[in-house]
Amino acid sequence: MRHWVQTMALLAVGTPAMAQQLPLVPMPASVTPGTGMLTIGAGAGIVADARDKGAATAARLLAERVKVDRGLTLTTAATGPIRLNRDKSIKGDEAYRLVVTGEGATITASGDRGLIWGAMTLAQLLSPDAAFGRPVTLAAVTIDDAPRFRWRGLMMDVARHFQPIETLYPIVDTMAAQKLNTLHLHLTDDQGWRVEIKRYPDLTRIGGFRTPPSAGGAPGAKSGGFYTQDQLKALVAYAAARGIVVVPEIDLPGHAQAAVAAYPGEVGVLGDRPEVGHDWGIMPWLFSPAPRSMIFIKNVLDELVDIFPSEFIHVGGDEAVKDQWQRSPAVQAQMKALGLKTENQMQGWMIAELGKHLASKGRRLIGWDEILEGDVPTSASVMSWRGEKGAVEAANKGHDVVLSPAPNLYFDNLQSDRGDEPPGRIGVQTLEAVYNYDPQPAGIDPARLGHVLGAQANAWSEYLATARQKEHAIFPRLSALAEVTWSPKAARDWRGFVARLDPQMLRYRREGIAAADSAFAVNFRPQGTRGQALKAGRAVLAMDTQAATGTIRYTLDGKAPTAASRAYAAPLAVRVGQVVTAAAFTADGRTLAAPRRYDATRAAWLSAGASDFAACPKGALGLRVPLNEGQAEDAPAYNVNIFDTCTQWVAAPLGEAKAVAIEVVRLPRNYGLAHEESALRAHYAVTEHGELVVKAGGCDGRVVGTFPLPDPATAPNRFRVEAPVKGESGDADLCFQFTSPLADPFYAVGSATLEDRR
């Protein structure tokens, strides 16, 4: 019995409207509606020439994706409604044409990647909604498609927190499904060396494992890991079959502490042997530019070339403070012999030499934008991360460039200011902000725009310890980048993207991807201060979502809302004691995100958590950090200013309180600040380990409590103190200032609870 059928009907819809309706991310370059309808059900056949390996692979990937995303089993057969064909007239390896008629769906392309991307587009058309397992009826359409940029990438930082190889495979699958084609693996850094180099086994035996930082007391057991060459070759082959190239990165000359820990005599500058690093930031250890070190690095690159067939090999080049080179007579003598006047020129020489070596292997060197400071030849490609200035400069000089700027495409930035976000950088980059980014910055000579290869998101992992946390950070923002780098700029439409992202979020769930719902979660915006709410016995509460889609529905009794719950239309008065629970709903009654709660009880208004606090004057809360390095759970996490251990509860309702209980947390001070150490603010301590000084009325206000801090070596890293609050008649800032020595661990306030005066 045939499980697929064709029916004919008239499609009376214009191209723009149809494009809005298609459940596709990224949006194709050209969509032309046709006449007719095609229904695909379980058992539908995919016809591909078995002698054509690329077509057979695309057919298999199509069947796999539809099975996961829709629950339909498609089969390779001699006949059927789906066909994959070669067509040399379609120009470009990644271009394809998809034609859906009442008779069937045909994918044609000249290149293997084109066939894969066409198959992924059809897979998305076949998973348009929540009706898992049911046949799908497609409207007739012709899609002619090709990418805007050739580099559409994601960088996974597996050096800071090692990620098991099996957790990278779902990332590859999900990238391929949205036509992203470059996976950049950041394989080495101060905190770990993650790739097996057979000639130098200590790179992984020693450099692959580190002792975690301590917040006081004995350090924990070593952690880490590495990938064997066979594991990486298998991943490379898996990715290549899905149209994705894997670009490896060996970071040099800086971020070298793990390598120097393993082979100080071969690659170190001054002969010392540090431990593998556990601090985040910039460390002093560099690779030496001496012949012994250059031979070592070239040998490493040779093994890397054997593992990764990618056109580009990334050599880092970022954040290499040159103090070790400046203090080394041998390096200074080498610079003089080479006729170089600055250490940046020394780095440029080093990068150029490695570029020549890679060119001799048929490969191209790419590095972070600092390599421009060393006057490297235009054969070196540049990945611009310090904003867009490096990309503009590099392209105008004739370098190929990839846009990867911070903060725009740094996916370790939080996605919202909500207190339930996992750890990361606090410079919020919303889904919409990523979607609105364009990787062709102003300032590039129009004649040089061809040097812009594309764009890449970076998932740095200092604070992303688990695969789930990384997935939360990456998805669905990577869907936005997929559209930015594939679709024509003129076709970009935020509202249309949000509508098309709904079925993509369903696909993420079916694929087991822990995509963030931050853009769709309800945000609560209380009007006025907590003190005003406590006096009035009620608060005025506004609600919204970042994506501004769906209908917000809510309850006032703490129960989860349903599709029949009250719809939010305007700010509402919430009485003291009520608990608002809200979620945004689709037209068919599904929630777009997990329900969120706003607690309007007196106890809640008298309490504040870490995400409720602000920086002290002249400071900034830049990081949301976990209690322990490598922590698997999202909470507890604390918003901190690593340069100043001081925070405030702004407009705390002190007039309603008689005392304040403070949860104090002690965190590792594991930050490599290099030349920024001078920005650290020390507060004068009057006891051995410093104090917590609590002030009412701001950081220049009156002292309401001083608490000597315990010995970090013996005390727990969470404890509570309590201070009376007297003489305040209304709202006032409550300042928490720690005076612990800068050599001690870092302190923060986890929460503050006012004791009700009633």
pLDDT of residue 453: 98
d(CA 733, CA 661): 15
> Which parts of the chain register pLDDT below 70?
1-20
d(CA 581, CA 460): 33
Q: How many helices (H) and strands (E) does the chain have?
A: 19, 41
pLDDT of residue 728: 83
Q: Where are the domains of the chain?
A: 30-145, 522-600, 608-756
d(CA 194, CA 313): 16
d(CA 355, CA 129): 49
Burial code of 198-236, b = ≥16 C-beta within 10 A, e = fewer? eebeebbebbbbbebbbbbeeeeeebbebbeeebbbebb
Quick check: 465 and 161 in contact, CB under 8 A?
Answer: yes
Question: CB 107: neighbour CB atoms within 10 A?
Answer: 30
Q: Right CATH number for 30-145 from 3.30.379.10, 3.40.190.150, 3.40.630.30, 3.30.360.10?
A: 3.30.379.10
Listed in order, strand segments (DSSP E) in 44-95 are: 45-48, 75-76, 82-86
d(CA 749, CA 607): 12
φ/ψ of residue 596, rounded to 5? -115, 155
pLDDT of residue 45: 98
d(CA 398, CA 555): 59
Residue 468, exposed/middle/buried by CB under 10 A (0-12, 13-18, 19+)? middle
d(CA 91, CA 96): 9
User: 706, 704, 710, 696: which is closest to 747 by C-alpha?
Assistant: 710
d(CA 480, CA 472): 14
Burial code of 617-627, b = ≥16 C-beta within 10 A, e = fewer? eebebebbbbb
pLDDT of residue 20: 55
User: 608, 601, 640, 606: which is closest to 623 by C-alpha?
Assistant: 640
User: 256, 278, 548, 590: which is closest to 431 by C-alpha?
Assistant: 548
φ/ψ of residue 315, rounded to 5? -115, 15
Q: How many CA atoms lie within 13 A of 67 on its CB side?
A: 10
d(CA 749, CA 751): 6
pLDDT of residue 19: 55
pLDDT of residue 729: 85
pLDDT tens digits for 246-298? Answer: 999 999 999 999 999 999 999 999 999 999 999 999 999 999 999 999 999 99
Burial code of 655-683, b = ≥16 C-beta within 10 A, e = fewer? bbbebbebbbbbbbbbbbbeeeeeeeeeb
φ/ψ of residue 48, rounded to 5? -145, 140
d(CA 240, CA 242): 5
- Per-residue DSSP letters for 201-221? THHHHTTTEEPPP-SSSS---
Quick check: 189 and 258 in contact, CB under 8 A?
Answer: yes
pLDDT of residue 618: 87
CA distances from 245 to 58, 156, 240, 406, 645 (A): 16, 13, 6, 23, 44
Quick check: 707 and 719 in contact, CB under 8 A?
Answer: no
pLDDT of residue 758: 78
Q: Is 338 helix (H, G, I), strand (E, B) or coil?
A: helix
- Per-residue DSSP letters for 646-702? EEEEEEE-GGGEEEEEEEEEEE---EEEGGGGGGPPP---SSTT-EEEEEESSTTSE
Tokens for 422, please give them.
């996992």
Q: Is 240 helix (H, G, I), strand (E, B) or coil?
A: helix
Alpha carbon 734 to its chain's center: 34
pLDDT of residue 358: 98
Q: Right CATH number for 608-756 from 3.30.70.1520, 2.60.120.260, 3.40.50.970, 1.25.40.10?
A: 2.60.120.260
Active-site residues, by number, are 319
d(CA 429, CA 352): 35
Partners of 625 in the β-ladder: 638
Q: How far apart are the first and last CA of the chain?
A: 76
Tokens for 365, please give them.
């060197």
Quick check: 157 and 411 in contact, CB under 8 A?
Answer: no
* Domains 30-145 and 608-756 in one fold: no
d(CA 399, CA 389): 13
Residue 440 DSSP code: S
Q: Which helix (H) or strand (E) holds 446?
A: none
